[in-house]
Structure formats: structure tokens, C-alpha cells
A and B are shown apart, each in its own frame.
Chain A
Amino acid sequence: MEIDLKILRYDPENDKKGHWEYYKVDAEPEERILDLLHKIKWFEDGSLSFRKSCAHGVCGSDAMVVNGENMLACQVLVKEVSNPIKIEPIRGLPVLKDLIVDMEPFFDSYKKVMPFLINDDEPGDRERLQSPEDRDKFEDTTKCILCAACTTSCPVFWTADSYIGPAAIVNAHRFVMDSRDQGSKQRLEIMKDVNGAFRCRTAFNCTSACPRGIQVTKAIEDVKRETLLNN
């Protein structure tokens, strides 16, 4: 079948601002949006720029806005979206070229939540024990692949990029809820900050956007609750 694509292009070496370009591509209904982008890049216009790597939804490289919604280009099939297909870079982060945005502010926010296990006890020469029930408490948030689909779907983040954003809170949750971790006090202080978890207005955009199916808004609510309980 023939697919019409409309892609928001921006070349920093020649353009003052972004502009739409239009393409026609032959595709099977089972092909991924990423496959269509490759057909354009490989056989029509080599300058089209986007990030990609694993091509099956686990590396988090290719979050973009497809027909108005955040998704991974490698995780959505042609038959699941309406034709014509409109593709734009994710919102709220500076666009560097075509579908590529500056990820540095995103990773800076991630690093602010101290995304690593904090535990100063001597662990001994075998594993620390953890019950399956305790392990389950943070199962959902261990799935995060840092693709930024959640953060860049958040209306609060669009208007205030100082907001730490859903992805960073998800990663705070992953450690706050881990029975082995002793760093919650410091992390929850960060969450209490004016740019922390309480800036969330529970729009649920993040939950819809997450390609890993993480209950992002629920995780943010869990963190807010922990913050209040630990006050």
C-alpha cells in the first residue's frame, strides 16, 4: 500500500525554522514506522535524521510524535495509524536536526534523583535477601528505558522545563520503593522541591505515552505519598 508521510524537518545549517516535507512510500501494513523512515533515508533522502538502534522497543532511541501522540517509531505498525502519517520530534526539548532533540536536559533531570542504590551496610559475600512481595513494589518502574516519551508528553514540562519530569520521578520511585535502598530521605527532599513531584497535575499523558506500559502517573502519586508520609 502507498503511505503518505508528512515529516517536520529542520536543518540547522540551512534553515531558520522547521518546515514540513512530504513523502510517498510503499509499505506493508505490518511494517514499523521506523521502517518507513529508513526507506526514505536509504532510498530517497539520505539527509533525513533520526535516532534508532534496537528497532523493537527496548533501547529507547526513537521516541517521536506520530499523528500527535508520543510513541517509539519501532513499536508502531503502519496498520495501527491513520494515513497520512504526520511525524514530528518530541516536544519540550530543543530540536537539533529533523527528529533529533537535545537529550542532555532530560538526562540531567534523571541524574538529579540519584538513580543508584544507596546502602552503606556491609553486604557480605552473598546476595542481600528480598522477598518477592518487596521486589514487586518497584517492578513496574524498573522497566523504564529513558526514552523521554513520558516527560515530553507532559503539559507541565512543556510550559516549565525546570520541572524534573515524569521519567526522573519514575526512576526515583524505582529506588524509593526498593527495600534494599537507604537513600529515600535525600531523594524525597528533591521530590519536595518546587520543581519536584508536586508539579504534576495528573494529566495522565505520561501513562498513555509510556511504550513500556509503566503506570507513570501512579508512580508519581506513590512518590508524592511517600514524601508526605516521610515528612
Chain B
Amino acid sequence: MKIVKHSFDGIIVGAGGAGLRAAIEAAPTMKLAVITKLYPTRSHTGAAQGGMSAALANVEEDNWNWHAFDTVKGSDYLADQPAVDILCKEAIDAVVELEHWGLPFSRLESGKIAQRRFGGHTVKEGAAPAFRACYAADRTGHMILQTLYQKCVSMGVEFFDEFQVLDIKIEDGVCKGVVAYEIATGDLHVFEARAVTFATGGFGKIFKVSSNAHSLTGDGPGMLYQKGIPLEDMEFYQFHPTGIYRLGILLSEAARGEGGILRNKDGERFMERYAPSIKDLAPRDMVSRAIATEISAGNGAGPNSDYVFLDLTHLGEEAIMKKLPDITDFVRTYVKIEPINDPIPVQPTAHYAMGGIPTDVNGRVLSDHKGGVIEGVYAAGEAACVSVHGANRLGTNSLLDIVVFGKRAGQSMVDYVSSTKASPLNESAADDLSNKISGFMEKEHTTEFSVAKIRSELQDSMEENAKIFRSKETLDNQTEILSDLRERYKNVTISDKSKVFNSELLEAIELDYLLDMADTTVASALARKESRGAHSREDYPDRDDTKFMKHSFAFKNGDSVKLEYKDVELGKYEPMERKY
């Protein structure tokens, strides 16, 4: 295998919003490269739709403290409050900075950035829904991704497109660099670098119905987990209430922010029963649970009674076309109905990982639950867990998270690189990866152990046993299934033995990460004997603040998972019952 050596100060893995924002911060003062398995503009930040919250107060009185209150309450009090304060306070400058870099926000008549309502965001600590989400129609993520990439182009940031990082080198708790696979040639590249940021996004592909891209396979968290670094709060996975029925394609919460209503098969606005004050704009965990409850009560629509309706018909053509053009297109393209005239069949879709690589507020990766850090390794965005989202993320806070904490990770890289010296990493760093790939190339293919077969069983079973409602029974069942899949994965084979664009090889390696993500999700969920935010146990329906005001830390222990816990950092908001 051909091995190419590179020497950089800093490497960023992943070129979505968090990676690009970190790059903008770090590039001016160091030799930096961004490595992405896609092209930067293909990253899934571009699929985010509704907005990015910041208390700009362009429409009505607002205050970042109210934003923080909503975020903490939305998190079901599991978010670390000092981190939430940073997120909400720095939000305002983060939005303004993006505008200065050219982001084409929608505008108010005053010329200021337009803001809309979104789930769980209120004024005066719950008094009424707040106009806080800054948006560009319903393609805000696309605009953020484009703007950050444009800024990188203007700065001459160096990219390695379609290179997939598959190994990180850490010696004695200190980062030495990464090893990447060049997708177009099959060559291996050793990148010596003393600061590495992981911004690889989420892992929604552990579920069958998901809003996530095919690329979202937990590469960063998986790579670090396999090196002994824990994953935090993996039991908290968000299901977005309004995915297109069966396909899971996201229909933004902005649809409800603009006045859209959820209805069951009888046309009833059922959210009035579940969240009497803010109804359809309740946080996502509550709305998804409400939909699942309606469906199990027999109130679902369709031949299998397994979906509900998102009704936009009362909004009028002009508002729909102006404010929600993309999701209107998705419905026309994939469902072949006209949302101006007909309600849309929707069901909850696997959407966002609250958990991930544990970091402090400066993006530094934690090595354990006691506050230890790995020198030179950083993480940001959905791959990371700061934790600002706790047990349930509010809509719009992920686009905010990627820019606020992407920037902070970039700053940490700058500080670290300026205070340390380069340390060499030679070609032999590629040995582990080279052996792994040779293993796949040499093993004879059998369809019995194909990647697709194991992966689809993983996705089907996670959908069945570990989705919105969980219990000891379903999780025990899933633990057994995962252990069987893990055994079969050890024999996984590929049919394509070529060097050029061998995506079957990469899917085989990614499946290992997906299994890690599923293992840690299920083990953490089984141990958390309470219901909090997105984690709902039918056998433990209440929140238990005495035992579980804690973040879980899942460590790899052979083929099993070992759990430790860390106290939540509280602040000015006392945990209270979560009602809307």
C-alpha cells in the first residue's frame, strides 16, 4: 500500500459547520488542513432548515438569559448550565459574524435579520413563544454551510476532499496525528499534527427511519471510543416529530413555527392535550412522544394507522412558498401531494445525537468522567457532547452549537499549537490501518456476512427496540441482537477488492463505528432507570433527580460497555417539573 507523509500543525476532520468554523479560527496562525470524506459543501449541515437562535430582539423584546432558561428546561435539566450560558450569550455575535461574512438571512422590513418562532423557545421563561430563530427561508443550514465554505475559500484554507480519516495516533495521552485513506486511489496518508479536531457529525444511520445522510456513521466518536475515550450521554437520541412518512426526510419545525398544526386521523389538534400552553411548539421529545402515543392509541392515520398529519393548508400559498419553499418541494417530490391543499403524512424520524465525544467548553476532549483531558484532541458539533443539549436539544440550537463551539475548538487549537512543538510521526503510523484494510482485501467474500445485511439488521432492530419508548425488555432484547451482530461483524467481507473509489470497503469500516454507537446507546439506556428528555423508559416513566442528575460516560471494555457517571453542572435554574 502506498503511504504518503504530510506534516501539519493542526488537522480538522470533517467539513460541516463545526469543522469549517474551527478552520476559520485556526487557519491564520498555523499550518492547517481540513480533511473530509465528502466535498465540504456535501456536509449534512446543509440539510438543516429552520433557523439558528440568538436573542437579537429584532422582532420583540428578548434576552439571552431567556434563551438559556429555555435551553436548560428543554434539556430536562441535564445540560451543563455554565456551557448553556456561553452558547446563548455568544449566539448573538455568532449570528452577526455570519451575516458579516455574507450569509443571506431573510430580512424584516426594517432590513434587520428576520426571526421566527420555534419549539420550546419562549419569552420571559415560558410566557409565550419567542421570535428567536434567525433564518434564511427554510434552508438556513445550507446558507451557513455555503457561507463558511466561501469564507474558507477566501482565506485559502487547505482541504483534502474525499479523504477519510480512519485512525488517530495518541501516545501517552498526547495527540500525534491521524491516518487517512484517499478514496480516489486507496493510498494511505499519514498526517503528523499535534492538534486534531473531530467535527464528523452524528450517527443517525443506526436507525432505519432517519433524517440523516448516508455519511453519518459516527466516525469521530467511533474512532475515539476504540482508543479508550468515553462517549457521553449516548442514551439521549432525538427523534424529530415531522419526518416524511417512511422516508424520514426532515420537514422543519419552522412549519409549526409559522403556524402549522399536527392532527391525528380524526383531524384533532392533539398537541392541545399534551402541551396546553404552547401546543405544537412544544420541544421535540414531547411532540414525538405525543405522536407515538396517538399512534399506539389507534389515532394514527393511513391503512396501518401509523402516521399523523402536518397540516399547513390554512397558512396560504404565499406564506408557504415564501417561508417554507424547500420542504414544500420535498413533499411534492417524494409524496406527490400538494401541501398548500393537503395535510402531509409524517412520523418521528431519527434526527440528532445529544451525546457524543465529551468535551469541555473549549472543545478539549475529556479522557474520563473525572475531568482528565487528551492533549491536542478536540471535538465540536454533533460529534461532541459539551453538554449544552442535555437530554433533549431545542430546535435551532444545533446550528448555534456548531458555530459557537466550532470557533472555541479552533481557538483551543491555536493556543495549544502556539505553546507546543511539533513532534514527529513516521510512516509506520499507517501500519494498523494498512493491516485492517489488507484483512478486508484478502478475506474471501461470502454474501452471508455482507455489510448491507448486518447493517440493515442493525437499523431494523434499533428502530424496533431503542427508539422513542424503551423498556428493560426491549433493551435486553437489543443487547442480545447487538452481541450477535458484533460476532457476525468479525467475519464481515467485501466483494470489491479495488483501490479506486472502493466505497464498499469504507462502508465495512463505518459499520464498525455504527455498532459502537448502537452498543453505547443501548447500554447507557439500559442503565438509566428513569425517563428524561428524549430517553423514555416505559418501566421508569418519571424523572429521578436524586439518582440521575448525571451524565453517563460509556467506555469500551472489550466487546462490552462500562459505564461511569459525572454530576451535571447546575447554575441558576433549579430543576422543576417540565410542563408547557
**Interfacial residues, chain A to chain B (CB-CB below 8 A):** 11-13, 30, 41-43, 45-47, 49, 52-61, 75, 77, 96-98, 100, 103, 107, 111, 114-117, 123, 125-132, 135, 138-139, 142-143, 145-146, 175, 178, 180-181, 213
Cβ of A59 and Cβ of B44 under 8 Å apart? yes
Chain A residue at minimum C-beta to C-beta distance from B494 = A46
Q: How far is the CA of A175 from the CA of B147 in the complex (A)?
A: 12
Q: List 23 A-B contacts (CB under 8 A).
A: A41-B452, A42-B450, A43-B450, A43-B452, A46-B445, A46-B494, A46-B495, A46-B504, A47-B495, A47-B502, A53-B215, A54-B44, A54-B47, A61-B42, A77-B333, A96-B500, A97-B501, A98-B501, A129-B112, A132-B107, A132-B109, A142-B139, A142-B146
A57 touches B333 (CB 8 A): yes
B86 to chain A, nearest CB (A): 19
Residue pair A117, B101 in contact (C-beta under 8 Å): yes
For residue B27, give the distance in angstroms from its CB to the closest CB of chain A: 14
The CA of A98 and the CA of B100, in the complex, are separated in Å by 42
B residues whose Cβ falls under 8 Å from a Cβ of A = 38-39, 41-44, 46-47, 56, 93, 95-96, 99-102, 104-113, 136-137, 139, 142-143, 146, 150-151, 153-154, 184, 213-215, 247, 249, 326, 329-330, 333-334, 445, 450-452, 494-496, 498-504
Q: How far is the CA of A98 from the CA of B499 in the complex (A)?
A: 14
* Residue numbers in A under 8 Å from B184 (CB-CB): 96
Q: Which of A77, A98, A115, A116 has the most CB of B within 10 A?
A: A116
A49–B105 CA distance with the chains assembled, in angstroms: 37
Nearest CB in chain B to that of A75: its residue: B333
Q: When the two chains form the complex, which single residue of B39, B326, B333, B452 contacts A42, counting CB atoms closer than 8 Å?
A: B452
Residues of B within 8 A of A12 (CB): 500
CB neighbours (8 Å) of B496 from chain A are 46-47
Assess A55 versus B96: contact at CB under 8 Å? Given A103-B39, A111-B153, A127-B112.
Answer: no
What's the nearest-Cβ distance from chain B to residue A103, in Å? 7
Extra pairs beyond A127-B99, A135-B107 (4, CB < 8 Å): A42-B451, A126-B96, A127-B100, A128-B100
Contacts A58-B142, A127-B112, A142-B104 hold; do A53 and B150 have CB atoms under 8 A apart?
no
Cβ of A130: which chain B residues have Cβ within 8 Å of it?
107, 111
Which residues of the partner chain A approach B330 to less than 8 Å between Cβ atoms? 56-57
Tell me whether B110 and A129 are in contact (CB under 8 A): yes
Inter-chain contacts of A30 with B (CB < 8 A):
334
Chain A to chain B: the 9 pairs with minimum beta-carbon distance, closest first: A117-B102, A129-B111, A42-B452, A46-B495, A116-B154, A116-B150, A47-B496, A46-B504, A127-B99
Taking a contact as CB atoms closer than 8 A, the residue among B96, B109, B502 that contacts A127 in the complex is B96
Q: Is the CB of B450 within 8 A of A55?
A: no
Is A132's CB under 8 angstroms from B108's CB? yes
Contacts of A53 in B (CB 8 A): 38, 42, 44, 213-215
A124 vs B247: C-alpha distance when bound (angstroms): 45
Name the A residues within 8 Å of B56 (CB-CB).
Answer: 127
A231 to B214, CA, bound (A): 47
